[in-house]
Structure 1
């Protein structure tokens, strides 16, 4: 008697499995139809089209309901006469609802073509709708033609294709959800199931490995521990439940999240698997949204566990590590204060009054093209190696190295009242330090360089910006942008400070010149000062070697166009260089130019200047003779060959004395 009951139970489970497979086959085109109608709902605008689309949606819902009702009826006992009658009725009703989907889709297609819109995504989606509806109609024609649809042979002949289900769900992106990716091992003895799951999960950015049996699963896990194991319950050599028990015996494997994937709706099996350590169970065909949710939940749980373990390891060496890293950018005193603060490294920001420093090597872009990579890096390391200790000496914090530029702040993260004068003293000492930089450059066979420095003081937002995985101590706000604008007005060997920095300094300063400039993105004109010295208690003065300008044998013709931001003016100005020395020159032209105007220059007698970037800045008007203007200019960026060519035109002092 027990064997009979057991056999009946087994047969019932087999029938249930065949129904699940048949439901999967019938629902695949329906789900595709729903996916395409959802896409069309978001793109169609014509009221008539939307009205027909609504009818398609209603027919699709009706079709889905009829499929569920029909298959539910198949699982109940009934006479052959009732069975045949019900099957005929369901097939009749399904043909009507599916026919409505195809018919209204064709109506919209015909209207689109009449309107001249016979191409595009909407047209393609509608063709897919018609195709899926016809596929479903073909399936209905062969449905129930044989009484053995639940036999073993019938199960093998069913062709289940749920790629369309995955495709429709892939198009529905969930906004605002952070995608967590991981290494997932998929184990199933059905190759199609493995491929479908892998297809979906790869689209989400996961790394996938696959296995076809329980024993292979254990071998693959021991070779490389996955973040998640998707495990089929029924496999020929070793079922999923036995794999779970083996994993539970191994301390290194028992913590791996396991999601059981099965085609059978067996509650008892589900309970046993969860008791054995499974995280969850999903039923085939797998709902993509549910799969995403379960995988994400597993990865989040694992991420938090891994993070806790990582925090524990990092805690043991955190102080030494932070000192090593931050000590490169801050003084030991600043690092110590951050470490001792309760919220020293917490994410978030606060408004704070600070002084911002921006530096830039003049003409470095051109220089980097002339140097090989090794020399370029050597030059930068020499430069940064000199500047960094000076910034730390005055309590500054290097926020970023931006190529050849430095962004440093004074007054944060540790607040200090005299951040403005300290920043100015630091800037002056940095300019003096360029003599040491260039001395080493000469010894290494590298070119000499010049640096411009800008300072600005104001209230900005400072703090740790980023995410839990990656963050940096940053500074943002209007005054950061203003500092960058001021820096663009500097030339080599200059320190320019804003009126706000000047107002924050009580110590006596020596000013070489005062300018009022209008900067891009800044509403009102701003006063800037070229500072060459600061008094007590710093007593730092800029040490500058005066450049001797010598006359040229003949005026050197050059063509210029003014620059505003990165835009080059159309008008070409003709000018002549009459004196030159170092990076400075005296030129005369017939056009009035504003102070600090940037110039793009070409020299006809030096053909390479047509291809190379040669830039200059108007420093001051020296004289005006009738309609001729005489200016002092500074070469801000030029290839060494261009600078050498200009200086080669100079008349040496011995020649002028004859």
Structure 2
């Protein structure tokens, strides 16, 4: 089935919309079931494990089915509307069995939670169940490819808002002009308009030992990074008001914020989307639902890269401090405290700073001694000059005559 370039862009945007709508509840099913399995392995009760494993396996299977069935190349290869309808019907059938299993097993676990003393698992089980119900309600509509091809709205999909966001994200493919960019302890910032996505990601990162903060949209994220420091941003693409592309663009255009590493996490998986994010300055890209092991590895790599970059910037700043100290020595204004922090380093620069500080102190002490010697010499010179002046006066004939008169007066008897 052939399409004009404009139709093809819209077609791809709708397919991206379908994948996004289906992956969002799957992200919750897979994410919460993985965390519950970890909790059960550590704290029990073990009776929950079999059904949780079935839920997780069904979620992974559903994700694979969605990825395969809605692959743009596979859909584009369909020749007739009848074949397209057949593809949709087949997808609906394939998806219904595993999602029904998720609904069923989550309902049984909710019923057995009190009996198994697993009350702490109830909130996450409820989220799994509601997400599965959401997915189930989407199946009939998203499988009707002929309506999607015609651009008709589906009853459970907010095409007017959600699809338009994806059209804006996927359909906007203007070239990116990127300027050359120069360049723990702080939390990671999660930016996603979906509460379930934020919760799953925050809890996964918390289990990995990271502190997190969340923002519901791009504008809030930009406000937060302007007010405090973050070591990393995990950024969704498809958000209302300001999408992830624009947030990324503004970050990289701000000299104060451009060095914050950004990992894009989105249900949009088209290669153009990935390329665009990297061109705009993202460090990495992860599709949703994300793999916790891969997430850990990518975040670890980004944080290590940031640590090395921060160390390089601090090193250059310390080099500037030593250079400024050298200039201060020449002008006589050196203060050892200005390189005290550098001298505490345990590398070659720290050793240089310590040697420089010692030499500067020796130079200063030598200078003080020389000044003292000069002052003493000046005193001796002044005394010599004074003695010479006195001698010049006492050796004159006039002074000698006065001295004789004085002596003569002293020898005369007192007259009454």
After TM superposition, the score normalised by the length of structure 1 is: 0.35
Question: Does residue 314 of structure 1 match 2:312?
Answer: no
What are the ranges of 5 or more consecutive residues in structure 1 without an aligned counterpart?
Answer: 187-191, 211-223, 327-337, 343-658
**Per-residue displacement from partner, 1:475-514 (whole Å, max 9, x unpaired)?**
xxxxxxxxxxxxxxxxxxxxxxxxxxxxxxxxxxxxxxxx
User: Secondary structure of 2:146's partner?
Assistant: coil
Structure 1 residues 106-145: aligned runs within 5 Å: 106-113=107-114, 115=115, 117=117, 120-145=119-144
Structure 1 residues 145-184: aligned runs within 5 Å: 145=144, 147-149=146-148, 154=153, 155-158=159-162, 162-173=194-205
After TM superposition, the score normalised by the length of structure 2 is: 0.52
Q: Given that residues 102 and 133 in structure 1 are in contact (C-alpha distance below 8 angstroms), is that contact kept between their aligned partners in structure 2?
A: yes
Provide the C-alpha distance between the structure 2 equivalents of 1:134 and 1:171, rounded to a whole number of angstroms.
Answer: 23
The farther-off stretch of 95-104 and 7-16 is 7-16
* 1:99 paired residue number: 100
Q: Given that residues 60 and 101 in structure 1 are in contact (C-alpha distance below 8 angstroms), is that contact kept between their aligned partners in structure 2?
A: yes
Q: Given that residues 59 and 102 in structure 2 are in contact (C-alpha distance below 8 angstroms), is that contact kept between their aligned partners in structure 1?
A: yes
Structure 1 residues 171-250: aligned runs within 5 Å: 171-173=203-205, 194=218, 198=221, 207-209=224-226
Q: CA deviation at 1:307?
A: 0.9
CA 1:78/1:165 → structure 2, altered by over 3 Å: closer, same or farther?
Answer: farther
Q: Given that residues 244 and 273 in structure 1 are in contact (C-alpha distance below 8 angstroms), is that contact kept between their aligned partners in structure 2?
A: no
Provide the C-alpha distance between the structure 2 equivalents of 1:180 and 1:321, rounded to a whole number of angstroms.
Answer: 40
The farther-off stretch of 131-140 and 264-273 is 264-273
* 1:418 paired residue number: none
Per chain length, whose mean CA-contact separation is higher, i.e. which structure has more relative contact order (CA < 8 Å, sep 6+)? 2
Larger strand proportion of the pair: 1
Q: Given that residues 56 and 105 in structure 1 are in contact (C-alpha distance below 8 angstroms), is that contact kept between their aligned partners in structure 2?
A: yes
Provide the C-alpha distance between the structure 2 equivalents of 1:43 and 1:146, rounded to a whole number of angstroms.
Answer: 40
**Per-residue displacement from partner, 1:381-422 (whole Å, max 9, x unpaired)?**
xxxxxxxxxxxxxxxxxxxxxxxxxxxxxxxxxxxxxxxxxx
Q: CA deviation at 1:323?
A: 8.6
Q: Given that residues 63 and 97 in structure 1 are in contact (C-alpha distance below 8 angstroms), is that contact kept between their aligned partners in structure 2?
A: yes
Q: CA deviation at 1:109?
A: 2.5
Provide the C-alpha distance between the structure 1 equivalents of 2:108 and 2:273, rounded to a whole number of angstroms.
Answer: 50
CA 1:307/1:167 → structure 2, altered by over 3 Å: closer, same or farther?
Answer: same
Structure 1 residues 531-550: aligned runs within 5 Å: none
Structure 1 residues 175-574: aligned runs within 5 Å: 194=218, 198=221, 207-209=224-226, 265-267=270-272, 270=275, 274=279, 278=281, 280=283, 282=285, 289=295, 292=299, 296=303, 299-300=306-307, 302-315=309-322, 316-317=324-325, 320-322=335-337, 339-340=354-355
Q: Given that residues 228 and 298 in structure 1 are in contact (C-alpha distance below 8 angstroms), is that contact kept between their aligned partners in structure 2?
A: no
Q: Given that residues 325 and 338 in structure 2 are in contact (C-alpha distance below 8 angstroms), is that contact kept between their aligned partners in structure 1?
A: no
Provide the C-alpha distance between the structure 1 equivalents of 2:45 and 2:356, rounded to a whole number of angstroms.
Answer: 62
CA 1:323/1:92 → structure 2, altered by over 3 Å: closer, same or farther?
Answer: closer
Q: CA deviation at 1:103?
A: 0.8
**Per-residue displacement from partner, 1:256-285 (whole Å, max 9, x unpaired)?**
5686969583559938974xx735464776
The farther-off stretch of 97-106 and 52-61 is 52-61
CA 1:244/1:82 → structure 2, altered by over 3 Å: closer, same or farther?
Answer: closer
- Stretches of 4+ moved more than 6 A in 1? 174-181, 224-233, 252-255, 283-286, 323-326
Question: Does residue 89 of structure 1 match 2:121?
Answer: no
Provide the C-alpha distance between the structure 2 equivalents of 1:300 and 1:96, rounded to a whole number of angstroms.
Answer: 47
Q: Given that residues 232 and 260 in structure 1 are in contact (C-alpha distance below 8 angstroms), is that contact kept between their aligned partners in structure 2?
A: no
Provide the C-alpha distance between the structure 1 equivalents of 2:249 and 2:131, rounded to a whole number of angstroms.
Answer: 40
Structure 1 residues 39-54: aligned runs within 5 Å: 39-44=35-40, 45-54=44-53
Provide the C-alpha distance between the structure 2 equivalents of 1:39 and 1:231, rounded to a whole number of angstroms.
Answer: 21
Larger helix proportion of the pair: 2
**Per-residue displacement from partner, 1:121-151 (whole Å, max 9, x unpaired)?**
1122222222111111111133244734256
What are the ranges of 5 or more consecutive residues in structure 2 without an aligned counterpart?
Answer: 154-158, 166-192, 327-333, 342-352, 358-416
Q: CA deviation at 1:207?
A: 3.7
CA 1:85/1:193 → structure 2, altered by over 3 Å: closer, same or farther?
Answer: farther
**Per-residue displacement from partner, 1:605-631 (whole Å, max 9, x unpaired)?**
xxxxxxxxxxxxxxxxxxxxxxxxxxx
What RMSD in Å do the two structures reach over aligned CA positions? 5.3
- Work out which of the residue numbers 18, 21, 26 in structure 2 matches 1:22: 18
* 1:38 paired residue number: 34
Q: CA deviation at 1:306?
A: 2.5
Q: CA deviation at 1:81?
A: 1.9
User: Secondary structure of 2:4's partner?
Assistant: helix
Provide the C-alpha distance between the structure 2 equivalents of 1:141 and 1:108, rounded to a whole number of angstroms.
Answer: 27
Provide the C-alpha distance between the structure 2 equivalents of 1:123 and 1:17, rounded to a whole number of angstroms.
Answer: 37
Q: Given that residues 26 and 136 in structure 1 are in contact (C-alpha distance below 8 angstroms), is that contact kept between their aligned partners in structure 2?
A: yes
